Structure 1
Amino acid sequence: MNPLRLLLLLALATPAICADPKPAPASAPAGKPIVLFDGSSLDDWEARDAGGSGSVEIKDKDMIIGAGDSITGVVYKKAKDLPVTNYEITLDAQRLDGVDFFCGLTFPVGSPKTCATLVLGGWGGSVTGISSIDGMDASENSTGHYRKFDNNKWYAVKLRVTPANISAWVGEEKVIDVDIEGKRIGVRAGPIEDYQPLSLTTYATMAGIRNIKLTPLAAEAPKVEKK
C-alpha cells in the first residue's frame, strides 16, 4: 500500500485528542459594594417635587429628607449603571419627625420599568412591607405587618432582589421574604411613579439617611431537574 495512503487511513481511524473545555461558571462573581451616598454630596441625587414636597439636604454627613405635605424624596441619577436584579441595597435610616413612613426605598425588579417600594413605618407609622404585589399595597399583601419604630433611632436596613425573591432585613431580623415568580410587581399609583427606578422618599415625615450602598450579587445557578 502507498505509504501516504496508509498514513491518511491511520489519521482518520485515530480519535483526535482535545483538552477538556473549562466548565462554565455556575454564577457570576459578586461585585464590590457601590457607594451611592457617602455623606459628602447630593450630586448623584435629584430632588423631585410631588407637590408640596419638603427639602432635601446634608447635615452632619446625613441625608435629611424634610417633611412635606405628602411625598418628599430624591432619585438616584446613575441608576442606569446599576444592576436591576441580583443585588443588595444597605442603608441606615431614622425617623426624625412625623408619623408616617420614614424610608420608602423604591427599587428596580428585573427592569428599570418594573419597580417596587420597601415601606418602613407607613399608614400611621408602623406598617412595613412591599408596595405593590399583584396590585396590592404593603397594607394589603402578605409582606405587610406592623412594626414599632422609635423616633431618633437608627435602623440598619438591607434589601435583597433576585429574579425569584425579594427579601428585607431590619437590623438582624429578616422581616420580608416573598417569592415573586409569576407575580405582578409595580409601585403604588400616584406620586411615587415619578420616583422610579431608584429613590428614597418619606411621607409627611422627616428622616435621616446614611451609608447607602448597592452590592451586586452572584446570580444563582439554574436548577437542574433530576430525571
Structure 2
Amino acid sequence: MSRSGLIHFVFVCATVMLFTSCNRPAKNNNQQKKTQQYTPNVPEGWQALFDANTLENWKITSFGTEGPVKVSGGSIIINYGDGCSGITWTDTFPKVNYEIQLEARKMVGNDFFCGMTFPVNDDFCSLIVGGWGGPVVGLSSVDGQDASDNETQVLKYFEKEVWYNIHLRVTETSIQAWIDDEKLVDLNYTDHELSIRPEVALSKPFGICTWMTTAELRNIAMRKLESVQ
C-alpha cells in the first residue's frame, strides 16, 4: 500500500471510530446500578403491609377527587387533590382483635393527613388525624357524630414534615389509638353505633386517605391479637 493510501486508510478508520463513539448511547447510571431497595422497619411479630418499594396489595382509591399517589424513598406519597386522596388494602383483613401501626407526616395542606378507615366486627369506623383545619384527632363517626363533635375528640398540634407514629388497636369491646405513645382515643364502643362518612366508603375494608393534603406514609404493619375485651 502506498504512503498516501495508508494515510487515507488510517483517516477513514479514525473517522468511523469517532462517528461510532459519538453516536453510541451513553451508559445510564441507573442501569449500571441496581435499583435501591428499601426494607420496612416493623416490630418483630408484626406483618408489614407495605414493602417500602411497591403498592403490592394496595390500590389507589378512585374517589374521583384524588391526587396522584406514588412510592418513593421507601414511602407512599399521597398528593392532595380536590377532596379525598388515598389507598385501599386489597388483601384479606381481620374484622376485630388486631393492631395497626404506621408512620405518617403532613407535607402540604392543612387538613387530615391520615384518615384510617378500618373494620370493627361488621361495622366500619375511621381514625382521623389532623382534621378540621389541622388539630382534631378522633373517630368518625360515633353515634352519627363526626370526630369533631363526639366524645373521642382531642386537639393536638401537628408540625409539617415531622413523622408521627400512629398506633390503632381494635378489640371486641374497645377502640384505642396512640400517637407517639400518647393515648388519645379510648372508646368502649359496645353501647355506641359506629359508622363512616360517605366520602371514605371506598376505603373499606381498610384504607388510608387525606383531605386536600399531601402526606407520606411508611412502615405500615398489622398484627392479630388473641381474643381481647
Q: TM-score range by the shorter chain?
A: 0.7 to 0.9
| Residue matched to 2:88 | 75
d(CA) in 2 for partners of 1:126 and 1:182? 27
Structure 1 regions of 5+ residues with no counterpart? Answer: 1-30, 222-227
Find the partner of 1:40 among 44, 53, 59. 53
Report how far residue 193 of structure 1 moved.
Answer: 1.1
Q: Secondary structure at the match of 2:61?
A: strand
Matches within 5 A, 1:185-196: 185-188=194-197, 190-196=198-204
Structure exhibiting the larger radius of gyration computed from Cα positions: 2
AA partner of residue 66 (structure 2): S
d(CA) in 2 for partners of 1:197 and 1:47? 14
1:106 and 2:117 matched? yes
Encode CA deviations 1:142-194: one digit per residue, 9 max, x unaligned. Answer: 00121100000000010000010000000010010010002111101x22112
After the TM superposition, list the runs of 4 or more consecutive aligned residues in structure 1 that deviate by more than 6 angstroms: none
d(CA) in 2 for partners of 1:219 and 1:145? 28
Contact residue 32 and residue 216 of structure 1 kept, 8 A = no
| Residue matched to 1:160 | 169
| Residue matched to 2:30 | none
- TM-score w.r.t. the length of structure 2 is 0.79
Find the partner of 1:151 among 160, 163, 172. 160
Encode CA deviations 1:71-128: one digit per residue, 9 max, x unaligned. Answer: 00110000xx2221111000000001100000001100013xx111000000001111
The CA RMSD over aligned residues, in Å, is 1.3
Find the partner of 1:120 among 129, 139, 158. 129
d(CA) in 2 for partners of 1:218 and 1:52? 38
d(CA) in 1 for partners of 2:118 and 2:101? 12
Encode CA deviations 1:14-62: one digit per residue, 9 max, x unaligned. Answer: xxxxxxxxxxxxxxxxx94221012111021111222221011011010
Please identify which structure carries the higher helix content: 2
Find the partner of 1:52 among 60, 65, 70. 65
Find the partner of 1:133 among 119, 139, 142. 142
Q: Secondary structure at the match of 1:37?
A: coil
Identity %: 37
How many corresponding residue pairs? 186
Report how far residue 141 of structure 1 moved.
Answer: 0.4
d(CA) in 1 for partners of 2:45 and 2:195? 28
Structure 2 regions of 5+ residues with no counterpart? Answer: 1-43
AA partner of residue 195 (structure 1): S
AA partner of residue 91 (structure 1): L
d(CA) in 2 for partners of 1:82 and 1:76? 8
d(CA) in 1 for partners of 2:212 and 2:228? 39
Report how far residue 197 of structure 1 moved.
Answer: 1.1
d(CA) in 2 for partners of 1:219 and 1:57? 36
- TM-score w.r.t. the length of structure 1 is 0.79
| Residue matched to 1:182 | 191
d(CA) in 2 for partners of 1:82 and 1:69? 29
1:85 and 2:93 matched? no
Matches within 5 A, 1:20-39: 32-39=45-52
AA partner of residue 126 (structure 2): T
